Amino acid sequence: MTDEAAHDPKYDTFIKRLRSFKQKKSKYQNGENDQQFCERLGISLTQFRSWIYKNTEPDIASVLHLSETLDVCPNWLYLGRGHSVEYLRDEGLRVTRIPREPLEIIEEIGAEEMANEAEPQQKRRKIS
């Protein structure tokens, strides 16, 4: 794996990587303020602001909690390592992470499809 994200100025510090998860203002919604962001992440506003303004380092428990909440690798969140930023052709979009949930959903769908495929065969056997 490459460490391109560690060299991308948008993600070159812990706080920049963390802030990249803050909900932005859109046409239909206001963006998250720091208080709302901290509440969603389950951290104190004081702690968050000390990381920003005092440049204090987060403790390991905080990094682990945040990485679990945000569904990212703790190593990437804290150090920017083990993660690459990929650009999608012609779109100018960057893929910075792929959450685990879609994979689990696909696995569940695959299991359901396999179960559904097995059912007609069982019915055929009973009929014949």
State the Cα–Cα distance between residues 128 and 71, nearest whole angstrom.
Answer: 50
Same domain, 57 and 108: no
Each residue's pLDDT tens digit, 45-75: 999 999 999 999 999 999 999 999 998 889 8
Q: Which two tokens stand for residue 72?
A: 């990212």
The pTM score is 0.59
106 vs 66, which has greater pLDDT?
66
Same domain, 68 and 122: no
Same domain, 32 and 91: yes
5: left (phi over 0), alpha (psi -120 to 50) or beta: alpha
Count of domains in the chain? 2
Q: Quote the pLDDT of residue 31.
A: 86
pLDDT band at residue 2 under the 50/70/90 scheme: very low
Instruction: Check if the beta carbon of residue 82 is closer than 8 Å to that of residue 73.
Output: yes
Task: Return the closest-CA partner of residue 18 out of 97, 87, 84, 88.
Answer: 97
Same domain, 24 and 85: yes
Which residues span the domain enclosing 35?
A: 4-97
Can you tell me whether residue 86 is helix, strand or coil? strand
87 vs 97, which has greater pLDDT?
97
Lowest mean per-residue pLDDT among 11-20, 34-43, 105-114: 105-114
- pLDDT higher than threshold 60 for residue 35: yes
- pLDDT higher than threshold 70 for residue 123: no
Can you tell me whether residue 25 is helix, strand or coil? coil
CATH number of the domain encompassing residue 19: 1.10.260.40
Same domain, 114 and 78: no
